[in-house]
Structure 1
């Protein structure tokens, strides 16, 4: 089976499309149908043709596209990602995948990425980021 590019020329055979492209399309379609949405409901977000191409695995969504689609579906973007990368769309497979992600983030030192961590860091003049935003630095008094 061949997919066709936007200009109508034969594209890449379906057997050559990377698995993540195909599984994102299936995950998105599954959630879309479960939510009772049609492709036409995404005209403002992505356009029906783009949605169709995403579902068939022809196009690769950007993060911005995934956020827009998830917003329209009223799900978190990670829901679509989890359904894309889980080996099976079961609660157990999703839980296992999320536990793996949780462990990997913890191993990376997740506190380094938290917005609150940057607020408590002292700047070069000894003030925290929050203090630096709220008042100007102290100027040394001239000696008399």
Structure 2
């Protein structure tokens, strides 16, 4: 599985968990575009990811965490720990 496929799988999983159809995103994107994202056929800009996450009612990082967790085969908790450590190393307040 490549990263686009992992991201698409996460988008579909979260969308379905929230009880949303692909048509729910019509205000920000076409059904065909959402379908291509979910199938890993298209990439997504950070701006579009923010809009999609807003429609789903989740933080954009939730989508990214879920997708990277699948892609790298690491539990989300492990990635969160790594992220917290890296933020501390670069001086990000938290």
Q: Tell me the TM-score normalised to structure 1 length.
A: 0.60
CA distance in structure 1 between the partners assigned to 2:70 and 2:30 by the alignment: 29
Extract structure 1 runs of 4+ deviating beyond 2 A: none
Structure 1 gaps of 5+ residues are 1-17, 115-144
Q: How much is the aligned-residue C-alpha RMSD, in angstroms?
A: 1.8
Whether 1:96 and 2:78 are equivalent positions in the alignment is yes
Kindly provide the CA deviation profile for residues 12-52 of structure 1, in whole angstroms up to 9, marking residues without a partner as x: xxxxxx71100000000000000010001111112111100
Higher relative contact order (CA 8 A, sep 6+): 2
Deviation at 1:87, TM superposition (A): 3.7
Aligned length: 92
Q: Tell me the TM-score normalised to structure 2 length.
A: 0.90
Q: Which has the higher helix share?
A: 2
Structure 2 gaps of 5+ residues are none
